[in-house]
Structure 1
């Protein structure tokens, strides 16, 4: 049942990404033509976002496809990390295109350009409808869990804001003839997009650097494992990271020698799966206290201090002997 749900979820994400890619590419061409003819920077800015969106959606589509490949001897986790890499590249691309838009907006303050408000308004409304459709398609996917789909949705959100800005600018230009509103609104939209892109960049980089998932507190996990399973006396050498959407864990546990070794191991795995949704864990059980430079990984401050004192006491006793 879980496998079927995962398979249908992947297919759903792929279909939504493909549909959003088609819609975005079509209206990106329309906005480029409209921006060049009308002379609107807001339209060209939105078209620039759409260009990066088209590339972002294509990369996201390919990443979802590659992520479905089975693990092999060379890639033992499969290619799940491609989705995170695609999100990282998407965030950088969005930041770069935003810098270019800001540069052009600043230049236009010194060299104002004529803008055809009526044509600009028509293209901006069509672009807004296209962005709403694309965002709806992507938002229906597992955006909160899938960083890659979330990256694509953020690109489209930036375009949606850009289209709203272009509509406002077109109306003001049609009624007042004040063309500086075009680059001003482009700057405001760019600031909003930069905030989202920066957050995405930090999150994807954290995952690429094997950072612990934000929803897992390793010290708390170690404490709860010790409290909930009587045979577990100490948890150390705890490493947790994320591959694609899957948290992965390795840890050492000092235990009271169990009557049923396999039963205790199964209970530990069940605890990790039920409380932290960790299905892939490597657990090494030990009967003696840990001694080594990384033994405090996974302990809270009090446990680490007590462990350090215990190790020092043992070392002193051994030295005296």
Structure 2
């Protein structure tokens, strides 16, 4: 015999807890990046440096990524409704996925430009190039530091940080290229260093893409092992005989959900065991939203429930019979006449 018992805890909100600090650091990073991008365009035109103009295009992509991340946070704060019961939390993951794709596109573009410049290098004024590159390094270090003050568990913060890291390395490469060109006049150093920076960006972009893809595919978070979770619940929650059909996934960064089926031990009561299971999941695995279903009951408990049901049915039947067939009352008869 099986007894289905479904319980769902509603003591928490489905709305995303997006910190305003995250919004602020991303918006600040966008303003700084977009502002210096304009400076770099002017410096590239004045110095004749394709490297600075290319890096300005890189910063334009970064500024767009930061703006997209900020928009993602803003939309993610919108409350849930009857149609979108988890609100707009997944928009952050979509923004992170777009960031990763733009990184790959950027790497392809830089490599293509590097090949073209190796074929026909142009004249570059090393002095203005060095000055703009140094300022760019300082700005990128500032933005990188600001972003690191945000929550690095968010896909959007990760994406923005990877973009800015690429810019920071690009500024270092531009400084080295400017120094080499100034002292040796060897122009191919610029595209060569650009390709080396692309290899570093490519590695980070792949990690970001995989993270966003896993969330969209509802994969188990990397820090959770299903077997360990089952053992932990079974060993630490009294009344649990078995735990099966466990599904764990993230609705967005830092928001982990789970569903599972529970078999109770002899004499255990669902009303006592289920809250303890949810507490164990929250404390050990940071699962804030769990749906637990009791699908099987021990045979003895099932027999007890069946006996209680039969006793209740017998009592109701007897009570019903008494009403339908009242006892005959004997009538007194007088003496025969």
**TM-score normalised by L of structure 2:** 0.81
Equivalent residue, structure 2, for 1:73:
82
Q: Which moved more, 1:159-168 or 1:40-49?
A: 40-49
Of 94, 97, 103, 1:88 maps to 97
Equivalent residue, structure 2, for 1:33:
42
Equivalent residue, structure 2, for 1:297:
none
Matched, 1:189 2:197: yes
Equivalent pairs counted in the alignment come to 284
CA–CA distance in 2 between the matches of 1:206 and 1:149?
17
Matched, 1:210 2:206: no
Equivalent residue, structure 2, for 1:128:
137
Matched, 1:97 2:106: yes
Of 129, 132, 149, 1:140 maps to 149
Matched, 1:199 2:207: yes
Higher relative contact order (CA 8 A, sep 6+): 2
Q: Which moved more, 1:254-263 or 1:13-22?
A: 254-263
**1:163-182 alignment runs, 5 A limit:** 163-182=171-190
CA–CA distance in 1 between the matches of 2:194 and 2:68?
26
Equivalent residue, structure 2, for 1:23:
32
Q: CA RMSD in A?
A: 1.8
Residue segments in structure 2 that go unaligned for 5+ positions in a row: 1-11, 299-337
Residue segments in structure 1 that go unaligned for 5+ positions in a row: 290-321
Matched, 1:239 2:244: no
CA–CA distance in 1 between the matches of 2:94 and 2:88?
10
Matched, 1:118 2:138: no
CA–CA distance in 2 between the matches of 1:209 and 1:45?
35
Equivalent residue, structure 1, for 2:71:
62
Deviation at 1:142, TM superposition (A): 1.0
Considering fraction of residues, name the structure with more helix: 1
Deviation at 1:258, TM superposition (A): 4.5
Matched, 1:252 2:261: yes
Contact 1:53 / 1:156 at 8 angstroms: preserved in 2?
yes
